[in-house]
A and B are shown apart, each in its own frame.
Chain A
Amino acid sequence: MKTGRRAGPRVSPLGDGAILLTVADALELEANALARRVALEIRGHGLAWVTDVIPALVTVAVCFDARTAREAGERRATLERMLLEALDRAAGARADAPARTVDIPVCYEPAFAPDLPEVARQTGLPHDRIVALHVAAPHRVLMIGFAPGHPYIGGLDPQLAVPRPATPRLRVEAGSVAIANTQTSIYPFATPGGWNVIDRTPLALFDPERDPASLLEPGDAVAFVPIVRAEFERIAREQRTP
């Protein structure tokens, strides 16, 4: 039986068709940056038998095809070596500059910000200060997952660190921007949601008919741009009629 603390980066099997690199055991922005850089490098190798390279908060999963057990063993060994070498290189690299910044217009109207009063109560900050702090923070997409195009964004100002609400909402509207602890998240679809909704974007985070289907990618810098309700409606209309 495995016991005790695991320290340091390590590779382990994820079923028999994937391998998982764990960069760290806690969420550190630096570990996330390493995971993303490693993922980019493995993708860059363009191996035909690699079917997915998935960076998450502090891990990278690589899914691969294999026709026999022997081939699987060889490919797993190759990937293990590549992942650890990529991690070494990533650790030695310079600062993690984003490839691009994506502007996301957001409206903080009360109808779109049902949890803003509660965040104000918990932080002791007025609404416009919360908005200002949120807009000013250096947001960075840590990972995308759990739903198509659903981003988990780090960089939230510590003054806005509030826990998840005790009761999740049965329905959070598509485009809702929500915060919890150290992260911001945006709901691509209307679904139940467990974070604090503080504003909403008229942009479609995900559209399977659009190229690119996902508005955001891991590593993107995000700039939230406050807009008024009329502008929100205008952009929403534009999205609907291409």
Chain B
Amino acid sequence: MRPGVLATVQDLGRKGLQHLGIVPGGAMDPMSHRIANALVGNPAQAATLEVGLSGPELAFEDDALIALHGARFAAEIDGAPLPHSRPVLARGGARLRIARAGAGCFGYLAVAGGIDVRPVLNSRSTYLAGGFGGSRGRLLQRDAVLPLAPDAAALGADRFARATRRRRAIAAGRCQTVAWFAPAATLPEHDAPVVRVVEGVHAGLFDEAARVTFFAERWRIAPDSNRMGFRLLGSKLGLASPAEILSQAVCLGTVQVPPSGQPIVLIADH
């Protein structure tokens, strides 16, 4: 119904194709994606809806077992707060509104049976730059329909029944849920986290000031960052002497420094 700012269907990405220029892609926070899936009994590679910055408003056509995990998005289902990080059994017709995240950026909405878009190149991940995968290769659009597994409702009901056999279900508005939840330890740290790095082959090309600055600076992520890379704002990093480097493979987390001197951390769609 409402598309949200940066909602895309993702799974764990496309492996083994980078030699053809096809990025691995997949969830920006694979751990949260996996846990969201585990909370509804899905395998790790099942597709979820990755929600970024500010979320969509969705309506469920049928009963569904769902879980929202990752960044702490303010979310309501039929007007009542949606409990995070645990399986929630939603009734057909339920409306889920996902608003902004208090901390963090990406969250994952998993549905029992997975989001059943057609796989492209062995993955349901959305590659926005290439316009393929996920929901027609695009950001979630207004009035888009996200297909679920044909037996999603029965699957969800069955899994929830098994989950609540020993520990009772509790009510959450018009939904049912459980009292337990994935603990905070499963979430990324959000307060000025320390990120560890491994020196790359071109580290020696930078001048001494750059090397000190890189580690001392408290970098900010620029608003025009996206799934391909986080642009870092801070001091400029300079080379010891001008250098032309030859094109080579990069990986998730590679920190590139273009001529502007402002680093870019390459992420899922690198």
- Please list the residues of chain A having a beta carbon within 8 angstroms of any beta carbon in chain B: 1-3, 12-18, 20, 22, 25-27, 39, 51-59, 61, 63, 143-150, 152, 189, 206, 208-209, 213-214, 217-218
How many residue pairs bridge A and B at CB < 8 Å? 112
Q: Assuming A56-B247, A218-B19, what are 7 further A-B pairs, CB within 8 angstroms?
A: A1-B204, A12-B200, A14-B249, A15-B253, A145-B249, A146-B21, A148-B22
The 0/1 profile, CB within 8 Å of A marked 1, for residues 12-41 of chain B is 000111111110100000000000000000
Say whether chain A's binding surface is mostly helix, strand, loop, or mixed: loop
* Chain B nearest Cβ from A59, distance in angstroms: 4
Q: How far is the CB of B138 from chain A (nearest CB, A)?
A: 14
Most chain A beta-carbon contacts within 10 A, residue among B15, B19, B211: B19
Closest 6 A-B residue pairs measured CB to CB?
A2-B204, A61-B249, A54-B249, A214-B20, A208-B132, A59-B248
Cβ-defined contact, A17 with B251, below 8 A: yes
Q: When each residue 62-92 of chain B gets 1 if its CB lies under 8 Å from chain A and 0 otherwise, what string results?
A: 0000000000000000000000000000000
Known: A3-B204, A149-B20, A218-B19. A208 touches B120 (CB 8 A): yes
Kindly state the separation between the CA atoms of A145 and B21 in the bound complex, as whole angstroms: 4
Q: Which residues of B contact A209 (CB under 8 A)?
A: 120
Q: What residues of A have a CB within 8 angstroms of the CB of B20 in the complex?
A: 144, 148-149, 213-214, 217
- B249 contacts across to A, CB distance below 8 A: 14, 18, 20, 52, 54, 56, 59, 61, 145
Contact call A208/B18, Cβ cutoff below 8 A = no
A191 to chain B, nearest CB (A): 9
**Which of A2, A17, A26, A214 is B21 in contact with, Cβ under 8 Å?**
A214
User: B247, A152: Cβ atoms under 8 Å?
Assistant: yes
* Count of residues in B whose CB is under 8 Å from the partner chain: 33
- How far, in whole Å, are A189 and B130 apart by their CA atoms in the complex? 8
Q: How far is the CA of A20 from the CA of B200 in the complex (A)?
A: 10
Can you name the residue of chain A whose Cβ is closest to the Cβ of B208? Answer: A1
Distance, CA A10 to CA B171, complexed state (A)? 60
B103: CB under 8 A from chain A? no
Bound state CA distance, A116 and B93, in angstroms? 61
CB of B80 to closest CB in A, whole Å: 39
**What are 10 contact pairs spanning A and B, CB under 8 A?**
A12-B201, A22-B248, A39-B19, A52-B249, A56-B248, A56-B249, A57-B247, A61-B18, A145-B18, A213-B22
Complex contact B121–A20 (CB within 8 A) = no
A27 touching B251, Cβ below 8 Å: no
| Cβ B248 vs Cβ A57 within 8 A | yes
**Interface membership of B262, Cβ < 8 A:** no
Cβ-defined contact, A51 with B16, below 8 A:
yes
A27-B246, A208-B130 known; A52+B18 contact, CB < 8 A: yes
Query: Which A residues touch B133, using CB under 8 A?
Result: 208
Contact A144/B120 with A14-B249, A20-B249, A61-B249 known, Cβ cut-off 8 Å: no
Contact B204 A61 (CB under 8 A): no
Q: Is B19 in contact with A14, judged by CB distance below 8 angstroms? A: no
The one of B19, B130, B199 that contacts A55, using a Cβ cutoff of 8 Å: B19
Interface members, chain B 191-229 (any A CB < 8 Å): 198-201, 203-204, 208, 211
In the assembled complex, how far is the CB of residue A141 from the closest CB belonging to chain B, in whole angstroms? 11
- Closest chain-B Cβ to A197's Cβ sits at a distance in Å of 19
CB distance from B231 to the nearest CB of A (A): 18
Instruction: Return chain B residues, CB-CB under 8 Å to A146.
Output: 21, 247
Residue-wise, chain B 108-137 has the 8 Å CB interface mask toward A (1 for contact) of 000000000000110000010110110000
Interface residue? B254 (CB, 8 A): yes
